[in-house]
Structure 1
């Protein structure tokens, strides 16, 4: 009841700036530059016909906020002046569109039509951009997921194959992004991204547009330190529109994957759907409905390193008890060069994906002062796929219902309010069918997975109230958000165990597998269904202050309280060896202490000098951004409810397979998950300087610099190593190693960004971005991502280029209507036959290129060879004067093994983290569309798309385990997926009927 009263109270507060909508503002002046008071400004939507009237205040300023995105006509009238009209003013999501009107004196009712500028950003300093619905629907997307378009926005990058997990901003984690749909939470809840590669969580056909801001956004955005992705669903208009479509893929149209040994995986992919929208009551009530489905059957290409026949025979002869383990590997096909014990196996297995999504939305224009909408969407995803080796099978099921309701009120011409309530849910189940009840790792062979899985039903409830208050030259915005998160899960839902051996041909390491000496046995028991709960409170105040006709300030302060995670029934075992004297914290101590002082100031200065006629804008500013990263990562005490141990030869000398029951507990090898009760909120300082220039009609160029410094970044180390190898003593007696999460890492990024954006209103859309950047950290990227250091007492020794340091990144997209045929510049009066062949053609495409990501060279060492016997992230020694790369890099020798050696026993390697890089990738994806006009309004579109049309071989990451027989080899293609970035050449065809 208290929570309900709190929400109702917040909903009643006059508190604005829904970032899923837009604002049109400006100053009205007379010919001498004096401000015109009480001028009438009428803003009319060309899609719905809905009109929004406003007046200028005593400072001659007008503002209309909480406007739906789209195309508008804006007229300005005042007594004694000629009317002025801006036609086809585009308003994007989150945009503050500045339209200053200079009226001329006239004795009659003359109307003057003027062209609005190209949408220069004159009220904010963010590095970001808008992807409109035309791009989402007309650009070639391998997989038809809008996420593949996010990195078209300046400041955003895709470091992988185009999934949510690959989207990055300012060198930060994928867990640091905020995903919103119509202004409310649309994340994966446990993670910020969805746990599987959803294609249709929001169909591209149901997106009006979306904005992705990467750096230096205003105080009305936050909740995380990374990118802010705001998606707006389509709404119906005053005219009925609809479409039905199908996209098809088939392996007969595709090239073979690189290094697939001549095989071409069988593929059948069908992507089909329909939508319809229009008025229920003209200019009052509108609706939109969408359904889309994906059916994919892929005979997935598989490969791995497996034991040779000779090695199998040796194991069977010397250790018969291990025969079932070694025989679980499939028979290899190709010998590994220089190895008698390893072979490469190639195979395939069926991967079946079904996905069904739907969205419905209704918008109600109640009156000139009030608008309301309601929207519901869902996506149900099921997948079965081979797990490492056939016939092992894995499955993933995910259902993501999401809903919101919103009301916008204009109480007075100077006070506006926008309130909404949203619900997000992730129903997830995952598991594997594997040969053993445990995972098996025998270095250097490919590991066999564990059958353990998880189930979860996670929810978030978001209440938002935002308001705008106009006072003279000030547009003051205020807002409050309350987000309640529930995570109901059992993870793992069956015991999760990993048995690890040191196998054959590891330089400087004995073959412990042949001796049946297990290097480590890590066990985590099943966890019952538990319920994590967290409530977040966000608030902000923002002033967009017009200092003069050419100078604006954007000054804001944001407050963020991320709450304290806890279990609804008080369950959980809180472990913090550093801050709790008995390792396990008393039950009265929270999982972590709350920080209540997260105030984040942000300031921006925007100058548009009169000498450049409003076509040049200089922008600069600074801001502080706070975030708590991955929500699921806060719940280590839940995992400690089950038995956990890490058993090594130090605890039980000579133990092997099968592991005696109860040995882990009996030898005091308890290994709980620890986390600091004094963990800090990640804080990121960001600063930027940029210049925007209107270089042609509807064309804006930008050059920008930005820098970031992140402190209190997520870190992960391992405590309780051996402190006396003679006695096997540890710091915390009675425990084995303790994985420990803290916030002690730091990260830096500096970047130069350049872009050019051209609006489609001219018949040619162009978007091109280039970013040169360098990201440095000491192992922690942010969110829930961190590398385990090789020496847990020297986090500074890990300082290097970040795992996600994309040094050069380029992405371009274009849509071009060929100017031939009816309704276009040439052959406008052509016959139907001529138009059938020459008219209605459109070219579109995406080109992308990026440099290779860093690769961390590691090696497998026996735990007893290390000073603390913590065998994680170990690196070799560098041979002075010998280059890490061969003189001529090939896929057969990308790295130089002669540049490294095995460290002496009792020492750590001196090679730095992320010392080498993988190959870069680039590709071109064109599309050709032909529209066949059946009637004035009805048409049929045929489209052919080619992904990686030049069939450039996209190489994967080189094997980076020094001492293995495959070190330095690239054996896998960049992507083995059927969709996304980095595939071989693939063709897709579609047919779409629309009216």
Structure 2
């Protein structure tokens, strides 16, 4: 296969794909007979560059590979008048049909047609939507900074999704786009015909171009021709601006300031905003005085844009420990709820903390004693924890949660520079080259870096420092009028560094020893609250605790790179009624990584270490394997922290890795003009992609049959490509994708269009594998309630294993075999199989008037083999397995007690001391010992498993009013049903019952409606003063209204995971309303109102599966309308120069858009601040810090000089 691949790479200089458009049609005489061998010329009206062709024997012609722009078409045949057609607009990846009817006459006579070409698409069944960058600018639809711009603050091309039916994107476009129900991040981006997709999704904007450097974008959503592929969720096909014979350019500045904004609801604060986006561009002929004059031949276009952001955030509430918590007094954690009794008959209190040194055994079951008055004696507090606590700021009020509103900086500088050169050697040979570079630097950012306002040493924020360089070259050569060759080559270089604000922290100052910490960082500390993730978008609520501290394990202070060379070429051949196109493309991906992740130590705390160890019900007493009892939580994570008791963690050495993959494609496409009214497109594409591999074979995976020396020879050990002389996965060699499209012009004003295609996405990104191949020295508690380490004692040296490490018994840690940690990755054997999407559509287009077209289509697809990390659990148990192999019935309370009992205790019954291998911890529960791989504590979820499925059906409609009389407008409508299986996290109820996991998508919006309008006022009346005052005012607006997103059903707290190592959902209570208040009633006061009804949910019985689906169509979050308005004035300076001053507003009507309510735990206690304002509970809406969706009305002042 390697030899075949090398041969394919070598011959890839044969063919490829493009961002160009085409003009096609038929030439006939007055009698309707075709005219063969007629010379055709198309002249770009801005550059005067000519493109030539001639008609075939059937009178057909095609001018292929035309750069985007406006053209003039001419046909000169002896005996006929010269035909001239002007104002032909060629768009990205679109074909314009111009049929020519010659008139008899002298050659010096001419017939000139000036009308614009029709809006009808008569040449293809493809679904695509072309949007010019200038239209987005005129609509004021390109915000800077905030939630609606790119993750780097720049105006971003994906904002155009608002004008395309069937699409969706989340705030900041960090995960990319969602098109026609495909998973996020499966879209592909091309710039000037070359791939520009950033494989590192979290920084999707890192390789993008400035919007002022972009001419237009065609978003191809379904049924695209065979030349386009390796696309899952739509192809963004962009073309850059090019120079012309006349010099033209812009200088612009966008200014955001709180003076233009409305206040945050409920708290009446107005965050400081200081954002500025400025730039300039210039294009024209290359002209060197007395050296070179490039008019009609050589052109350039240069653009530079810089975004700057410097301001203070002062309205985001976070949670820090209260004064009582700091002293070890956890009376505030008590909610007054009793969750049961222990074997001694004492009540188990929610929020109660239990002394880990007080364990006694009652009838073979361990029991702890609650700390007196729920207070930890001062002498028991860990000195390292106290040193860390001294670095935490004091609360600003007496509330247990959301008790501090810090002020902290936001800073970001992003610079984007691009230059394009076009040159015509001869009318047959043309070349174009583009270079773009993008750099972004931000140490603190609330939206991008997770800044929360903690001091620099302990903050969890990590900076974003990225830079990319992109080179693209395209060469076109016309061998003869009916044969055109196109060649392209490019490379993308990208790197991301995400170091912490403090890189010289000495951990010995807090008394922590044993971490490598070459980056000089504070340790990562998380898990310190019962409710909430402890991050800025999900702070601790309820009874509080503490935000996460220190740079997280997710790549902190690592250097990630992406290197992607691309090669492509194509041949277009016109013969008779056919236009053939053959092509190929090669891409090579490399992902070097210098990883310092967790070298500073990552320590996770939980309530387990201060939880009770057993509980009793009417059916008897049993050991606990979770701190959740009867829907409430026993123990308190911050109390565990003050005792220095770590639940689990990771301490890694530095690692340097490189993963990579390859991609190759061939295609053949034919556009067959069966008649002047009927065009048929058909083609075949072949895609071949490899799964990501670590260059030196250091990516670990599970070999289920290999004896594990750390686990006494029990099957299930680690293997590596470097040592196994094998491949961890298989590449899929059968990705053939047929394409079929048809367009039939029923009447001159009505077109029927249909298409069908099979498209393949790429394989997984190598950046994920690079991270997984790094050292992963995870450690965990040997049993429930025990600690994996104590802060004061430091990290045991044996926890820090060397890297690389090819020991087949590396997991669990051979120095601590009783610490049953999980593996870093389990590579799925089908990792080389790309996702497949079967697409089809049927639709009609109708021209109502010359500049008004209506279209409606049924658009659908079925996706398979999407990446899914949740549809396999190699280390789970099933009720059938437990019953048939071990005689244990999870419906029997006594058997459930056995499964949860420590295997070394009498409560384990007949399983007491029956360990699966020598050295297995006697404190582990029986259920752990019965797992397929008992040496691993995790479910061994697969890496790159292609098991997900999607279903998408929609009605998509669009009304387009082309610019005339100063008005252009568009209306789009989508009515869709989206379903998925295993693609979205948290939606699987039982991995061993796959059919029941088909569910509504969590991103389903059944109804979406968008109106976009731009209007320029003409000069009115004859009074010159009135004319001047009234004329050239411009109004632009985009109004989007859509259904709310579904709310995920709460995860059950019936502790099924302690029996089968899988969770389930709460049950829906029939007839009980979901909501206490309608989320769209505009009557909610989040300081007083809980909006979700906990009575709508019931916990399944112990050991039982929930019956709920993950989502319901009528259980949705608030609708979030998007309403923008742009109002400005154009001032003409001279004939070719003008100044534009414009105010662009987001949320023009200043609607209050609430954050999503807390919907994870129906039994969560309702908490209030000292002022009786809500601070937590099921259905609580966090109101401090404003909305994470559309903020209150915000304005941006735009000033632009154009010539």
Please report the TM-score for the alignment, with normalisation by the length of structure 1.
0.90
**Are the structure 2 counterparts of residues 478 and 84 from structure 1 closer, same or farther at C-alpha, using a change threshold of 3 Å?**
same
Aligned twin of 1:955: 1154
Aligned twin of 1:745: 948
SS at match of 1:854: coil
Determine the C-alpha separation between the residues in 2 that align with 1:4 and 1:274: 45
Could you give the per-residue CA deviations for residues 188-222 of structure 1, whole angstroms, max 9, x where no partner exists? 2233xx52666x93111111111111222111111
Mapped pair 1:494 → 2:628: no
**Are the structure 2 counterparts of residues 16 and 427 from structure 1 closer, same or farther at C-alpha, using a change threshold of 3 Å?**
closer
Aligned twin of 1:179: 189
Could you give the per-residue CA deviations for residues 324-377 of structure 1, whole angstroms, max 9, x where no partner exists? 4778776666788xxxx5455444421111111100111001111111011101
Q: Indicate if the aligned counterparts of 1:131 and 1:152 stay in contact, CA closer than 8 A.
A: no
Aligned twin of 1:676: 828
Alignment match of 2:262 (pick from 255, 258, 269)? 255
Mapped pair 1:111 → 2:111: yes
Alignment match of 1:711 (pick from 852, 864, 873)? 864
Could you give the per-residue CA deviations for residues 244-302 of structure 1, whole angstroms, max 9, x where no partner exists? 1211111122112344x222111111111111110121100001101111111232342
Mapped pair 1:397 → 2:397: no
Q: Indicate if the aligned counterparts of 2:199 and 2:767 stay in contact, CA closer than 8 A.
A: no
Q: Indicate if the aligned counterparts of 2:17 and 2:569 stay in contact, CA closer than 8 A.
A: no
Mapped pair 1:266 → 2:272: yes
Q: Indicate if the aligned counterparts of 2:987 and 2:1110 stay in contact, CA closer than 8 A.
A: no
Q: Indicate if the aligned counterparts of 1:155 and 1:214 stay in contact, CA closer than 8 A.
A: no
Q: Indicate if the aligned counterparts of 2:258 and 2:270 stay in contact, CA closer than 8 A.
A: yes
Aligned twin of 1:537: 664
Q: Indicate if the aligned counterparts of 1:460 and 1:484 stay in contact, CA closer than 8 A.
A: yes
Question: How does 1:448-527 map onto structure 2 within 5 Å?
Answer: 448-451=548-551, 452=553, 453=556, 454-491=558-595, 493-495=597-599, 497-502=602-607, 508-513=631-636, 516=640, 521-523=648-650, 525-526=652-653
Deviation at 1:835, TM superposition (A): 4.8
Determine the C-alpha separation between the residues in 2 that align with 1:721 and 1:951: 50
Alignment match of 1:419 (pick from 487, 491, 515)? 487
Deviation at 1:914, TM superposition (A): 2.6
Aligned twin of 2:776: 643
Question: How does 1:362-441 map onto structure 2 within 5 Å?
Answer: 362-385=421-444, 387-391=451-455, 392=459, 393-432=461-500, 436-441=523-528
Aligned twin of 2:311: 298
Deviation at 1:956, TM superposition (A): 2.1
**Are the structure 2 counterparts of residues 156 and 299 from structure 1 closer, same or farther at C-alpha, using a change threshold of 3 Å?**
farther
Q: Name the stretch that deviates more: 539-548 or 848-857.
A: 848-857
Determine the C-alpha separation between the residues in 2 that align with 1:252 and 1:507: 51
Deviation at 1:150, TM superposition (A): 2.4
**Are the structure 2 counterparts of residues 378 and 812 from structure 1 closer, same or farther at C-alpha, using a change threshold of 3 Å?**
farther
Deviation at 1:600, TM superposition (A): 0.5
Unaligned runs of 5+ in 2: 145-153, 287-293, 331-373, 502-520, 535-547, 609-626, 708-714, 800-811, 883-898, 901-907, 909-925, 1166-1176
Could you give the per-residue CA deviations for residues 900-938 of structure 1, whole angstroms, max 9, x where no partner exists? 233333334333213432111113211122122221112
Task: Tell me the number of residue pairs that the alignment of Structure 1 and Structure 2 aligns.
Answer: 965
SS at match of 2:136: helix
Aligned twin of 2:143: 142
Determine the C-alpha separation between the residues in 1 that align with 2:116 and 2:397: 65
**Are the structure 2 counterparts of residues 690 and 961 from structure 1 closer, same or farther at C-alpha, using a change threshold of 3 Å?**
same
Question: How does 1:782-931 map onto structure 2 within 5 Å?
Answer: 786-787=985-986, 789-820=988-1019, 826=1020, 831=1024, 833-859=1025-1051, 861=1053, 866-870=1058-1062, 874-886=1064-1076, 888-889=1078-1079, 890=1084, 891=1086, 892-915=1089-1112, 916-931=1115-1130
Q: Indicate if the aligned counterparts of 1:849 and 1:923 stay in contact, CA closer than 8 A.
A: yes
Unaligned runs of 5+ in 1: 821-825
Alignment match of 1:964 (pick from 1158, 1164, 1168)? 1164
Q: Indicate if the aligned counterparts of 1:399 and 1:428 stay in contact, CA closer than 8 A.
A: yes
Determine the C-alpha separation between the residues in 2 that align with 1:657 and 1:893: 40
Aligned twin of 2:744: 607
Mapped pair 1:321 → 2:381: yes
SS at match of 2:527: strand
**Are the structure 2 counterparts of residues 536 and 79 from structure 1 closer, same or farther at C-alpha, using a change threshold of 3 Å?**
same
Deviation at 1:95, TM superposition (A): 0.6
Determine the C-alpha separation between the residues in 2 that align with 1:491 and 1:30: 70
Alignment match of 2:934 (pick from 733, 757, 771)? 733
Mapped pair 1:61 → 2:60: yes
Q: Name the stretch that deviates more: 511-520 or 929-938.
A: 511-520
Determine the C-alpha separation between the residues in 1 that align with 2:47 and 2:1067: 68
Determine the C-alpha separation between the residues in 2 that align with 1:468 and 1:446: 55
Deviation at 1:124, TM superposition (A): 2.0
Deviation at 1:813, TM superposition (A): 2.3
Deviation at 1:575, TM superposition (A): 2.7
Aligned twin of 2:896: none
Q: Indicate if the aligned counterparts of 1:246 and 1:272 stay in contact, CA closer than 8 A.
A: yes
Aligned twin of 2:1199: 991
Mapped pair 1:937 → 2:1136: yes
Could you give the per-residue CA deviations for residues 137-177 of structure 1, whole angstroms, max 9, x where no partner exists? 32212115233532144345234235252521011122210
SS at match of 1:135: helix
Could you give the per-residue CA deviations for residues 388-409 of structure 1, whole angstroms, max 9, x where no partner exists? 3422243111112111011011
Deviation at 1:235, TM superposition (A): 0.5
Q: Indicate if the aligned counterparts of 1:159 and 1:804 stay in contact, CA closer than 8 A.
A: no
Deviation at 1:973, TM superposition (A): 8.2
Q: Name the stretch that deviates more: 388-397 or 375-384.
A: 388-397
Determine the C-alpha separation between the residues in 1 that align with 2:1001 and 2:1190: 22
Determine the C-alpha separation between the residues in 2 that align with 1:512 and 1:668: 22
Determine the C-alpha separation between the residues in 2 that align with 1:146 and 1:808: 25
Alignment match of 1:771 (pick from 963, 974, 997)? 974
Determine the C-alpha separation between the residues in 2 that align with 1:66 and 1:213: 17
Deviation at 1:652, TM superposition (A): 7.3
Determine the C-alpha separation between the residues in 2 that align with 1:83 and 1:677: 64
Determine the C-alpha separation between the residues in 1 that align with 2:550 and 2:1160: 22
Determine the C-alpha separation between the residues in 1 that align with 2:168 and 2:51: 39
Determine the C-alpha separation between the residues in 2 that align with 1:876 and 1:565: 38
Q: Indicate if the aligned counterparts of 2:1125 and 2:1148 stay in contact, CA closer than 8 A.
A: yes
SS at match of 2:1108: coil
SS at match of 1:176: coil
Deviation at 1:533, TM superposition (A): 1.8
